[in-house]
Amino acid sequence: MGRQSTLQHPRRYAPLQEGPISYRVSGLEAEYDGGVMRIFATLQLGKGEGVVNEVWQVGSSVVNGVPAKHAFAPENLAASGTLDLIRGESSAGGGVDSTLKKKNIHGVLNAVSWGILLPIGAIIARYLKTFKSADPAWFYLHVSCQIIGYGVGVAGWATGLNLGSKSKGIVYSTHRNIGITLFSLGTLQLFALLLRPKKDHKYRLYWNIYHHAVGYTVIILGIVNVFEGLQILSPENKWKEAYIIVIAILGGIALLLEAVTWIVRKSDKSSKLYDASNGVSG
């Protein structure tokens, strides 16, 4: 139980150490009965301190006589509330609901941008480019899709950093590191807009290699991080399933277009060869 101040997780999950109680308490007593220990104390309230925070937790193991780390499921993290001693009211998880809402917003923004829009943009670039009738539409579609995806993605990324800075002591390093890498590579990729040499410039080949390599890395890491995020938040299974279905559909479309564009390119090539053998340049 604590005073009415903001509830915060401890900075680090080191083993608990014995120490003085930070609050003014008197009449400390304990009883041990049938494997259950109860501790009683009277909490002295200061002036105007009618509302106290309470936290509770469950854990299954004790190591060297000290409770071990508890689980981090959403219910464990939501185990807090406030108790109004004057009005005799209690409310569950004060700020927890709004934190969960923020996490959901973070998840949706990131899943839609890094996890769906950027892969769609790459599909547009890779496959529409093959069809002459789609030139230059594919280019504008690709650029718009990626700029929107990047914009929403950076907003989502920022909400992640904000969430991370509020929950001190809990660090999801893999998710965080992939997130920061994604932001850096995505930003680098947008420089494509400024650095792109003309189509027939001798450095264009290098630009293409850089843009493809960074682009596919962003897409793969983006999808991986969506799964990492789903693992951390562990919402209802249907969300993970829904995302898997979306990715499977995009993968299916990509495979199909891979085959179609391969055939188109092959027939283009053979018609060019035919033209060349007739002395007509293709």
**Contact residues for ligand HEM (CB under 6 A)?**
103, 106-107, 110-111, 114-115, 118, 121-122, 125-126, 139, 142-143, 146, 150, 157, 160-161, 163-164, 167, 170-172, 175-176, 179, 182, 186, 189-190, 192-193, 196, 208, 211-212, 215-216, 218, 222, 225-226, 229-230, 232-233
Supply the minimum distance, in Å, between the C-beta of residue 11 and ligand HEM: 13
Distances from the Cα of 31 to the Cαs of 13, 25, 103, 122, in angstroms? 28, 17, 41, 65
The Cα–Cα gap between 122 and 244 comes to: 18
Classified as helix, coil or strand, 21 is coil
Supply the minimum distance, in Å, between the C-beta of residue 160 and ligand HEM: 3
Q: Is the dihedral of CA 26, 27, 32, 36 positive or negative?
A: negative
Q: Is 212 flagged in the annotation as binding? A: no
Supply the minimum distance, in Å, between the C-beta of residue 89 and ligand HEM: 28
Q: Which residue is nearest to ligand HEM (CB)?
A: 164
Q: Specify the residue, 51 or 226, whose C-beta has the smaller distance to ligand HEM.
A: 226
Q: Specify the residue, 82 or 167, whose C-beta has the smaller distance to ligand HEM.
A: 167
Classified as helix, coil or strand, 53 is strand
Supply the minimum distance, in Å, between the C-beta of residue 38 and ligand HEM: 32
Classified as helix, coil or strand, 13 is coil
Among 168, 244, 243, which Cα is nearest to 12's? 168
Q: Is 106 flagged in the annotation as binding? A: yes
Q: Specify the residue, 134 or 233, whose C-beta has the smaller distance to ligand HEM.
A: 233
Q: Specify the residue, 171 or 249, whose C-beta has the smaller distance to ligand HEM.
A: 171
Q: Specify the residue, 79 or 232, whose C-beta has the smaller distance to ligand HEM.
A: 232
Q: Is 201 flagged in the annotation as binding? A: no
Supply the minimum distance, in Å, between the C-beta of residue 32 and ligand HEM: 36
Alpha-carbon dihedral 202, 204, 206, 212, rounded to 10 degrees:
-160
Helices (H), 5-95: 74-77
The Cα–Cα gap between 209 and 129 comes to: 16
Among 114, 141, 116, 145, which Cα is nearest to 217's? 114
Q: Specify the residue, 2 or 164, whose C-beta has the smaller distance to ligand HEM.
A: 164
Q: Is 70 flagged in the annotation as binding? A: no
Supply the minimum distance, in Å, between the C-beta of residue 56 and ligand HEM: 19
Query: Are 138 and 129 within 8 A, CB to CB?
Result: yes
The Cα–Cα gap between 106 and 156 comes to: 5
Q: Which residues are annotated as a binding site for heme b?
A: 106, 142, 175, 211
- Residues making up the annotated binding site are 106, 142, 175, 211
